[in-house]
Amino acid sequence: MSHDKSVLEQLATTSQAQRERLFHIDFKLYFLGTVNRNDLVSRFGIKEAAASRDLSLYKDLASKNIEYDTKAKTYIQREGFTPLFEYSGSQTLAALLHGFGDDFVGTQKSIVTSEAPTQLNFPHLQNLAHITRAIHNKQALRIGYRSLSSGLSEREIVPFALVDNGLRWHVRGYDRAKNRFSDFVINRIENPCELPQSDVSEEESKDADIQWNRIVEMHIVPHPRLKHPKTIEAEYAMKEGMLKVQIRAAVAGYVLRHWNVDCSDKHQMSGPEFQLWLKNTQTLYGVENLAIAPGYQELQD
């Protein structure tokens, strides 16, 4: 946070309820690029006049962050936006993905001691904000992207969804250079820039992504080599010894890898990590990202 000390002091004198509303304004501007009175009225149950006062106070505190778009009749983020509040990765993603946490001001404490050590990194929030604004406003992005095969290159993408593959965060979108839908690791993206004047065609939209819109039903069972399969049935709340999971084809490979599901048609995988087996391997026909699914090579033989 790089706002003047006087701004922070003035912010500290506001009530908790008003700070939460100011946080909501800041969050919407940062990650969606727009905010209006109705956002505050519907979220906090206040009158329009009170919402107007909150927006005016926010403008007084951070005049370089917000301006009114007379054509769209809404407040929008100004160039050079600097967040008025600090954000944690987990808080931000919880708000974006589950619709809560974006109105919380203060330090949240867990009720009991807890740890979540499996998250090695969170998306860079500044880049994430560009991506979520582009998704929300249906805009294209110009990005620098680092790939393992070609290093750093410039791309134009049309993002439409965030994806947590269990190991890292991706954005799903259309790659204009390769004329196909792809996944882009958020932390490999550099210097994203919205392209508001670039028209997005139907062929670049979410509705045209076959892998995203196709739903596959996976029948997952305890691995046949297990001595006590009932243990796995109980752990995963299986019904009649099977877990039926409906998943988008675009993320099927990630799910199978994350859960260590043996995808070979004759359950050849033998490591202790393979406690699950995909019984209906034929459901994966036509799924594109199976190179990362355990047993994929055996499936192809």
Extents of the domains making up the chain: 5-98, 125-208, 214-300
Q: What is the pLDDT of residue 167?
A: 84
Residue 219, SS3 per DSSP: strand
**Which positions ≥6 away from 54 have C-beta within 8 Å?**
18, 21, 22, 25, 40, 46
- At residue 117 the predicted structure's pLDDT band, cuts being 50, 70 and 90, is low
**Per-residue model confidence as pLDDT tens digits over 253-290:** 999 999 999 999 899 998 999 999 999 999 999 999 89
Find the mean pLDDT for residues 157-162. 96
User: Among the CATH numbers 1.10.3470, 2.30.30, 1.20.950, 1.20.120, which is that of 125-208?
Assistant: 2.30.30
In this structure, are residues 181 and 155 in contact, taking their beta carbons and an 8 Å threshold?
A: no
User: Among the CATH numbers 3.30.450, 2.130.10, 1.10.10, 1.10.3470, which is that of 5-98?
Assistant: 1.10.10
Q: What is the mean pLDDT of the chain?
A: 89
Model's pTM, two decimal places? 0.79
Report which of residues 99 and 201 the model is more confident about.
201
Report which of residues 168 and 153 the model is more confident about.
153
**Per-residue model confidence as pLDDT tens digits over 11-43:** 889 999 999 999 999 999 999 999 999 999 999
Residue 94 to residue 88: CA distance in whole angstroms: 10
In this structure, are residues 175 and 128 in contact, taking their beta carbons and an 8 Å threshold?
A: no
Residue 101 to residue 82: CA distance in whole angstroms: 20
Residue 161 to residue 246: CA distance in whole angstroms: 18
Q: What is the pLDDT of residue 89?
A: 83
The fraction of the chain above a pLDDT of 70, given in percent, is 90
Beta bridge partners, 215, equal 248
Model confidence at 299: pLDDT above 70: no
Q: What is the pLDDT of residue 174?
A: 98
Residue 178 to residue 150: CA distance in whole angstroms: 13
**Per-residue model confidence as pLDDT tens digits over 209-254:** 999 999 999 999 999 999 999 999 999 999 999 999 999 999 999 9
In this structure, are residues 300 and 294 in contact, taking their beta carbons and an 8 Å threshold?
A: no
